Structure 1
Amino acid sequence: MNTHTTSKTPVTLLGLGDMGTALGRAWLAAGHPLTVWNRTPKRAEPLVGAGARAAGTAAEAVAAATGPVILCLLDDASVGETLDGIDLRGKDIVNLTTNTPAEAQQRARWAEERGARFLDGGIMAVPPMIGRPEAGGYVFYSGDPALFERHREALAVPAGTTFVGEDPGHAALHDIALLSAMTGMFAGITHAFALIGPEKDLDRARFATLLAEWLGAMSRSALGIAAQLESGNYTEGVTSNLAMMTAANGTLLATARDQSVDPGLLTPYMELMRRRVAQGHGDEGLAGTVGLLGGE
């Protein structure tokens, strides 16, 4: 139901892919006047039917904006192309387009040179999670803190908000760091299912439950690694040290061989562990491997 009122902050939304459309529906449902634009005008029709106003051009949409101008486009190049030549003086630009930290920093300078205020955002959600607080989705924001505070209420409508600093690149950095960790987790899940693949009498659903519970418990190790990186003491609170884990890796590899599973998803990290042990740090936990990647 559209509870449209003029008391809510007007929102301008450029980009109506699946995520942009989900964002637009959430703002409309919360009563925010919404102006939308999309390169393919037909994509605006469902939101117009729900109460949004469609602008004929991106320039028209930005010119009429009195609240945040939200960008949810394909990539950073699309942002540049969409806003090229548009007068941005005095506008509040909130970029929710997926980008790299360096692109976000450069785009912030680009916007400021044109007289605009800038926030970058990294969406930690998929479209079905938008507008559903119980789903747990949220958005990282970084850049102008005053701008974030000015529009915090409107920005919190589609998903939770987490401000991560004045450096415009920090939202993207948090986004990519979490997605990178997720990718590593998916690699482990893929390897685990490959291991049990030949066993026809195993219940995959039951195994999946065990796997999800185990990964959830093990994910808490991130807290210990963070504490060790902060203190510089990589042996603090260690219960399974690198020497022990590196020795156990031989069993993991032997099992993969016996199950005819390619261990290629695991061996790069195992090699990092082996290198750290070879450097004389077998009594450490996993924190010491971070520096081998150049992260510390």
Structure 2
Amino acid sequence: MNSTDSPVTVIGLGLMGQALAGAFLKAGHPTTVWNRTAAKAGQLVSQGARLAPTLCTALAPGSLTIVCVTDYSAVRELLGADDVDLDGTTLVNLTSGSSAQARETAEWAERRGARYLDGAVMAIPSTIGTEEAVILHSGPQADFEAHRSTLGALGTVTHLGADHGLASLYDVAGLTMMWSVLNAWLQGTALLRTAGVDAATYAPFAQQLATGVAAWLPGYAQQIDNNSFPAEVAALETEARTMEHLIEESEALGVNAELPRLIKAMADRAIAAGHGAEQYPVLIGEFSRPQTN
């Protein structure tokens, strides 16, 4: 199944599904597509894809089937129909959802005779088929290795481990990184706009800072894994005083201070628990704590 002409089926032709099918076609794989709204397959058919008349005819024993639909409920609704035979197929589910849904769907698919890999697309449709597109997979490594070459047509593919939920967990972990960086940049932009500095002027400086902070992560990760947080750069209580400065400056300039107040509240709890002299990663305890009302 590693040859460049190995067949692939793509179920779901939203913007991402169309990009996935297009990448397989470009790489030379015979590609069958199916979508509830068949008209969405028009451009792919013109590029050489085969439009399956029904979902059950889109699947074949031993085939590699990529699923990219609205949610996990839709996956099970579509593939759980009485006339759909999953026995012998390999399903790669690139639908977004939770780790629990991934594990439950893996068990469901395996009961129906399918091999199952869960996945997450860490990319936008326009990058699919390039190295920039990162596609995460989790599930049995043997199933991933059997189709690694074919899946590689989509971008940079990575196998995370046997736990089917890992791809979904990495997905949301990546989203929190993305939103946190963007939110921090927006906070800073809002502050600087009060002095007439536009976003384009601030962006290169913010990018440099973000790159610098990212370089701290391996060392901070070692502290977390060792559960030891010596203050090599600054103590948390020092960081908390700087947070207070950010809050005061924001409020004085009429800029929303909800985000820094949230982080300051977490830091205050950690300091009250005796961690004020330790380094910032000690806040992992607060992030790991269940939310209380």
Instruction: Report the CA distance shift for 1:147/1:246 in structure 2 as closer, same or farther (over 3 A).
Output: same
For residue 276 of structure 2, what is the aligned residue in structure 1? 282
2:166 maps to 1:174? no
For residue 3 of structure 1, what is the aligned residue in structure 2? none
Deviations 1:21-58 (A, max 9, x none): 11111110110000000110000010000000000111
For residue 218 of structure 1, what is the aligned residue in structure 2? 213
What runs of 5+ residues in structure 1 fail to find an aligned partner? 1-5
Question: Percent identity at matched positions?
Answer: 35
Q: Distance in 2 between matches of 1:163 and 1:267?
A: 38
For residue 58 of structure 2, what is the aligned residue in structure 1? 61
Alignment of 1:100-119 (within 5 A): 100-119=98-117
> What TM-score comes out, normalization by structure 2 length?
0.94
2:201 maps to 1:206? yes
Instruction: Report the CA distance shift for 1:125/1:7 in structure 2 as closer, same or farther (over 3 A).
Output: closer
Aligned-pair CA distance for 1:140: 0.9
Aligned-pair CA distance for 1:231: 1.0
Q: Distance in 2 between matches of 1:284 and 1:220?
A: 20
SS for the counterpart of 1:156 is helix
Deviation larger for 97-106 or 266-275:
266-275
Moved over 3 A (4+): none
Alignment of 1:82-121 (within 5 A): 82-85=78-81, 86-121=84-119
SS for the counterpart of 2:147 is helix
Alignment of 1:1-296 (within 5 A): 8-62=5-59, 64=60, 66-85=62-81, 86-133=84-131, 136-200=132-196, 202-235=197-230, 238-294=232-288
Aligned-pair CA distance for 1:67: 2.7
Deviations 1:160-212 (A, max 9, x none): 11111100000110111111121122221121111122222x24322111111
SS for the counterpart of 1:44 is helix
What runs of 5+ residues in structure 2 fail to find an aligned partner? none
Q: Which amino acid aligns with 1:117?
A: R
Deviation larger for 124-133 or 6-15:
6-15
> What TM-score comes out, normalization by structure 1 length?
0.93
Aligned residues: 286
Q: Which amino acid aligns with 2:153?
A: V
Question: Are the counterparts in 2 of residues 15 and 38 from structure 1 also a CA contact under 8 Å?
Answer: yes
